[in-house]
Amino acid sequence: METIRQTQKKYASIAIFVAITAGLVLILAGLRPFGKGFILGTLFSIINFILIGETIPMKIGSTKKKSVWISLGSIYFRYIILAVPLFLAIKMEDFNLIAVVAGIFSVQLIILVDNLFIQSKQR
């Protein structure tokens, strides 16, 4: 469980730093909806990532049937959570939809880049 928390902290910290930095740059460049959208998407991406980590221990040691229900419930709940920033971006002009989508994928992109960097260092 501690390894999951360390991983969550590592990637969430990087993601929020990137989001705030990129968001500020975009806002200062006059692209306020893009900056706010990217930050919003990243925040919900981090929430989604944390929820994934929280459900892993619930599945371990459970029966197969219970594990399936926990997995399905987790997926549906996380889809609902990820729909919130998309809904806000569609309904409000304060957030750019493309920037929100980019923010939603920010944690996954950071994990991918980190793993590619680690692999390139091992060569």
Average the pLDDT over 58-78 and give the result. Answer: 86
Which one, of 25, 26, 19, 69, lies nearest residue 45 by Cα? 19
The pair phi, psi for residue 61, each rounded to 5°, is: 85, 0
Confidence label for 98 from pLDDT (cuts 50, 70 and 90): very high
Polymer length of the chain: 123
Cα–Cα distance, 91 to 17 (Å, whole number):
27
What's the pTM value of the predicted model, to 2 decimals? 0.88
Q: Give the relative orientation of helices 97-104 and 106-122 as an angle to the nearest 10 degrees.
A: 50
* pLDDT of residue 106 exceeding 70: yes
Domain boundaries, the chain: 2-122
d(CA 77, CA 60): 19
pLDDT at 51: 93
